[in-house]
Amino acid sequence: TPEVPAARDLSNAAYMSTMDDRRLERAIRAGKPPGMPAFGNQFMEPSMQVLVKYVRELSEQPKAPAMVPRGGAKAPAATPTP
Say whether pTM exceeds 0.75. Answer: no
pLDDT in tens, 20-47: 999 999 999 999 888 889 999 999 999 9
- Please state, in angstroms and rounded to a whole number, the distance separating the CA atoms of residues 58 and 3: 27
Say if residue 52 is exposed, middle or buried (CB neighbours under 10 Å; 0-12, 13-18, 19+): buried
pLDDT at 1 (0 to 100): 64
